[in-house]
Structure 1
Amino acid sequence: MKKNIYFASDFHLGSPNHVESRLREDRVVRWLNSIESDCSELFLMGDIFDFWFEYHTVIPKGFIRLQGKLATMTDAGIRIYFFKGNHDMWVKNYFSDEMGIEIVNDEKVIERSGKRFFLHHGDGLGPGDRKYKMLRKIFRNPVCQWLFSIIPPRIGLGIANWWSGSSRAANHKDEVFEGVENEWLAVYANQILLKEHYDYFVFGHRHLPLDLILNEKSRYVNLGEWMNYNSYAVFDGNDLNLKYFEKG
């Protein structure tokens, strides 16, 4: 019986170029092949693509191996959830219509085996970063999305790909842990704990694998990314563990 629940984020497929992205996509598909036999649910928690925008009849080309694998998994009865990240917030209904994947706009709260999970990509949470929080509201505004959609795909996707080329994923910026008091998603999680208990807070976005104890009953897990770490988390019904794929 399939019992494990898997969490991964920040594949950033498409970045920094086609060759490196294809190698990363192949690695992701190998990972999905390796977990398929015991996976009951898969949470893809944002920035799966370095850019994604769905026109009415057009989607970004490429990534066909990942899409084929996800379709195979949903056809086999595995439930898959796709969280909108800051790079792929313009996902609409393509994945749900074609593959039965559930699209998650913001946070999702789940309970499994008596454990409560607070799940979110991680962008726009916690203190600071007011500039991005303002941009996030603009980019997620339906009117702004409609205005972008009337730009011909060749131009619109070209602009977007140029924009994503300046991202930290494309430029391989290394993230550094500077203590739990400076970890803004941990600060956010502790604020939530003042109101309500969760056993696990699981985020992406940070690009640094982390497993931090918040209190005697709660942990903060960041999923890292797949440019450097190939990191993910798995819940086996008893505990949540951070792991690494194809790491010696």
Structure 2
Amino acid sequence: MILFVSDLHLQPARPVLTEAFLRFLDQHALGAKQLYLLGDIFEYWAGDDDLPDPFHQQIVTALRRVSDAGVQLFWIAGNRDFLVGEQFAAAAGLTLLPETWVIDAYGQRIVLLHGDAQCTQDVKYMAFRAQVRQPAWQQQFLSMPLEQRKHIIAGLREQSKQGHAEKSYEIMDVTPAAIAEVFAQTGTSIMIHGHTHRPALHEVGGTRRYVLPDWEPEATPPRGGWLAIAEDGTISQIRGQV
């Protein structure tokens, strides 16, 4: 099996979520061929110099165990954890991928991405994204003391929460034109992404777009899940099993 997961938003304040992810790794990922982590695995990532944090060590150790078992791990950055770097990748035993990546999964060409870059109607976010994805901005930000970075991130997260309350459903979703452009540029007809927290299968004009769920095991009923591709090419959406 090839597995895909995103939008866990792991953080120390949510131990039930952490246990759900560790259980997923033990019960499902360890038996997989590949595991793709498609962004926002962490609620935020302030830089690889935060690796010694006990919570981060717990997650890294769990991922490394999967990698050491022979499972190939891949990472595409989300809008919360785009500062994950080579030190994290080396510690966890995973490969960092570009924002858009095409794979051949049992004879099927599939494009993978997080999904935030396709929310083009959210003009304010797109401007912010363009700024923080610049290497010069990241270099300057990462040169700040770790605690200062965390303080800045906390402020940005609060602004984001307030902003979401004022934005419409459509603005926070991907736009059809942006999705069509990715399909055209990559020559694919199947896409897997997360970010929107709106799990679904969208079939349009001969294309299939799978949207991964966010994880909320504390909710009633629990939310979460992943996507799996079997050796015969069958694609399954597993939801709620967290």
Q: Which residue of 2 aligns with 1:242?
A: 237
Q: Which residue of 2 aligns with 1:160?
A: 153
Give the conservation status (yes or no) of the 8 Å contact 1:209–1:231.
no
Superposed, which structure 2 residues align to 1:62-73 within 5 Å? Answer: 62-73=55-66
Question: TM (normalized to structure 1)?
Answer: 0.82
Structure 2: state its 5+ residue gaps. Answer: none
Q: What are the superposed Cα offsets for residues 168-191 of structure 1, whole Å, 9 maximum, x if unpaired?
A: 5x9997x9987xxx9635543334
Q: What are the superposed Cα offsets for residues 51-107 of structure 1, whole Å, 9 maximum, x if unpaired?
A: 10225x444732333221100011111111111111111111122222321112310
Going from structure 1 to structure 2, the CA distance change for 1:42 and 1:176 (only over 3 Å counts) comes to farther
Question: TM (normalized to structure 2)?
Answer: 0.84
Q: What are the superposed Cα offsets for residues 188-233 of structure 1, whole Å, 9 maximum, x if unpaired?
A: 33344456642420011011111111234x3100002002521210
Give the conservation status (yes or no) of the 8 Å contact 2:101–2:111.
yes
Q: Which residue of 1 aligns with 2:36?
A: 43
Q: Which residue of 2 aligns with 1:11?
A: 8
CA distance in 1, matches of 2:97, 2:185: 23
Q: Which residue of 1 aligns with 2:196?
A: 206
CA distance in 1, matches of 2:235, 2:176: 17
Q: What are the superposed Cα offsets for residues 40-61 of structure 1, whole Å, 9 maximum, x if unpaired?
A: 0000000111110225x44473
- Residue 219, structure 1, aligned to residue 208, structure 2: yes
Structure 1: state its 5+ residue gaps. Answer: none
1:132, CA displacement in angstroms?
Answer: 1.5
Counterpart amino acid of residue 152 in structure 1: P
Q: Which residue of 2 aligns with 1:230?
A: 224
1:167, CA displacement in angstroms?
Answer: 4.0
CA distance in 2, matches of 1:177, 1:240: 27
Q: Which residue of 1 aligns with 2:17?
A: 24
Give the conservation status (yes or no) of the 8 Å contact 1:186–1:214.
no
Give the conservation status (yes or no) of the 8 Å contact 1:29–1:69.
yes
Q: Which residue of 2 aligns with 1:111?
A: 104
Counting aligned pairs with the same residue, the percent is 23
Counterpart amino acid of residue 64 in structure 1: Q
Provide the alpha-carbon RMSD of the alignment: 2.8
